[in-house]
Amino acid sequence: MVSKSKRKKIKRTVTHKECRQCGKMVALTDYHKHKLKTDGRADSCKKCRHERHIKNYKRKRPKNESVIVSTRSSDKQLRRLFDYVNQRINDSKAYEKFTLEFTLEEFRAKFEEDLDYLRIYNKWVDSDYDTAYSPSIDRIDGSIKKYTLENIQILTRTKNSRKVNERKGNYLGVRNKKTTSGKYRASVRHLKYRYYLGGYKIREHAAIAVNKLWDLLEADRDLVIYNKVPKRFYKNFSPNKALIRIEKKLKQKEKDNRLNLLGKLRKIWEIIVS
């Protein structure tokens, strides 16, 4: 018996084979490679496989591509939100006066297909379940101590916590008391970084500085709340050294990122040309 190593390899002269899908004789070069097949090629030709993939894509694609979300997981999160608020009202003494005037089914019916909730939920999932983006229930009118369907909305956890200052009549990121130098300090924490904006003699100017910072950072609207400052204070506002320094740093960082990107593109181009 001849061993496998000494056997002569027979050269195959087959250049065409029949496609299982369309039934035509197609050249082997028009088939995708397949290691498990005897001839090393797939059963259907490239053209047929391509058409099949397009049909499957159109069949599975959702009608609204902007909101692609798992209905099961988003529904679970709605259940968690409802249970959390319900338990908080029943167990906490601070929430004795609060009442929940809707059922789980009514809560689901309102937010199950709500685009704002699905957008927030998608961002939360994309951020690898960062607590800053996690959905939370908020009362639109904080003076009403009832959780009614008309008075609730779903916001990110960060934005919801920042609304507390707005309800109290305070400006976000601005200290209520003056420092020893007689100025209002402004500082904001955003995505694990704290930005110090220095002091301003007028409280409203410090609030405007916070708004300017949000614009410079191009912050996500689901995470920030802009201070509502009367327009008359914008006329006399002038940025201090701290805000100017932050602006320069951010611009320099943007330039560095562009240069790094150009450098990478040049290297790729050199590799392609060579």
At 155, is the pLDDT very low, low, confident or very high (cuts 50, 70, 90)? confident
| Per-residue model confidence (pLDDT) at position 68 | 40
Closest CA to 99 of 88, 110, 112, 111: 88
- Could you list the beta-strand ranges (E) of 70-173: 99-100, 135-139, 146-147, 152-156
Report residue 236 as tokens: 């006399």
The length of the chain, given as a count of residues: 274
| Per-residue model confidence (pLDDT) at position 90 | 76
Q: With 50 as the cut, is the pLDDT of residue 204 above it?
A: yes
Residues of 59-79 as b/e, b for ≥16 C-beta within 10 angstroms? Answer: eeeeeeeebeeeeeebeebbe
The whole-model pTM stands at 0.50
